[in-house]
Homo-oligomer: A and B are copies of this chain.
Amino acid sequence: MTSPASETVPGAALRADGRTPDQLRPVTITRGWTQNAEGSVLVEFGNTRVLCTASFTAGVPRWKKGSGEGWVTAEYAMLPRATNERSQRESVKGKIGGRTHEISRLIGRALRAVVDVSALGENTIVLDCDVLQADGGTRTAAITGAYVALADAVAWGARHGHVTGGKQVLTDSVAAVSVGIIDGTPMLDLPYVEDVRAETDMNVVTTGSGTFVEVQGTAEHAPFDRAELDALLDLAVAGTAELTETQRAALAQEL
């Protein structure tokens, strides 16, 4: 499912890839990309390509047992050569790096924000987001794709009689995008070449109804003021609205 290209302002192509500042890269969401998982989505934001699988299992971790509630969690990782230089495998290093931990936690929180755990019942859904090719925005692509895989896994659980409460498990949808300020201009959905140059970098997660789930802004090279923050939030909200549409269109198709 490919998102429709935003309309571009003629003559304003400031960006290396020809996009306007407020334009997303081409976004593709392919459901059922692998066969074993209860939800399996290949999400692409330009050259960034993330495989998101959702594994539905009956039962919950020990600390949730008897609560009547389910659990949703996520793990993010990169293949060693997803990036331009090969990075060492975390399994070989014997430990998970801080960045990996941080992104896994972010994805998990973002998804849980739209899950009614009591409606899920004592079931667990694990989202694995493995970056096959990285070109900036891997965490936001992962959230956007993982939501679709989660929706498929929830539907699988309902079809197979594991989710029986009759309530909606998903209270809303969730999508994410990165924004940043480059040479003073706020821009949407940064690829790697822009990301490394950004003075300020922000990841924004919103629900389908447009409220915020997570706002993470970082001054990479220069502190930012309130006006810049507001401009970035405006861009991001428009971007996630567009991603929400792409998610809906993808989920509307037959699997």
Contact = CB atoms under 8 A, between A and B. Distances in A.
Interface in A168-223: 172, 202, 206-207, 209, 211-219, 223
- Chain A residues touching B, majority SS: mixed
B94 A219 contact: no
A70 to B, nearest CB: 16
A238 interface: no
B53 A75 contact: no
Integer count of this chain's copies in the complex: 6
Contact of A109 (B92, B218, B224): B218
A104 to B, nearest CB: 7
Contacts of A83: 36
A245 interface: no
Contact of A90 (B82, B91, B100): B91
A37 B172 CA distance: 38
Interface residues of A, number: 64
Interface stretch (A4-12, A124-132, A139-147): A124-132
A206 B218 CA distance: 11
Interface in A116-165: 126, 128, 130, 132-134
Interface in A39-61: 40, 47, 49, 51, 53, 55, 57
Contact of A94 (B95, B97, B128, B133): B95
12 contacts: A34-B133, A35-B47, A53-B79, A91-B93, A91-B95, A211-B224, A212-B217, A212-B226, A213-B218, A215-B217, A215-B229, A229-B233
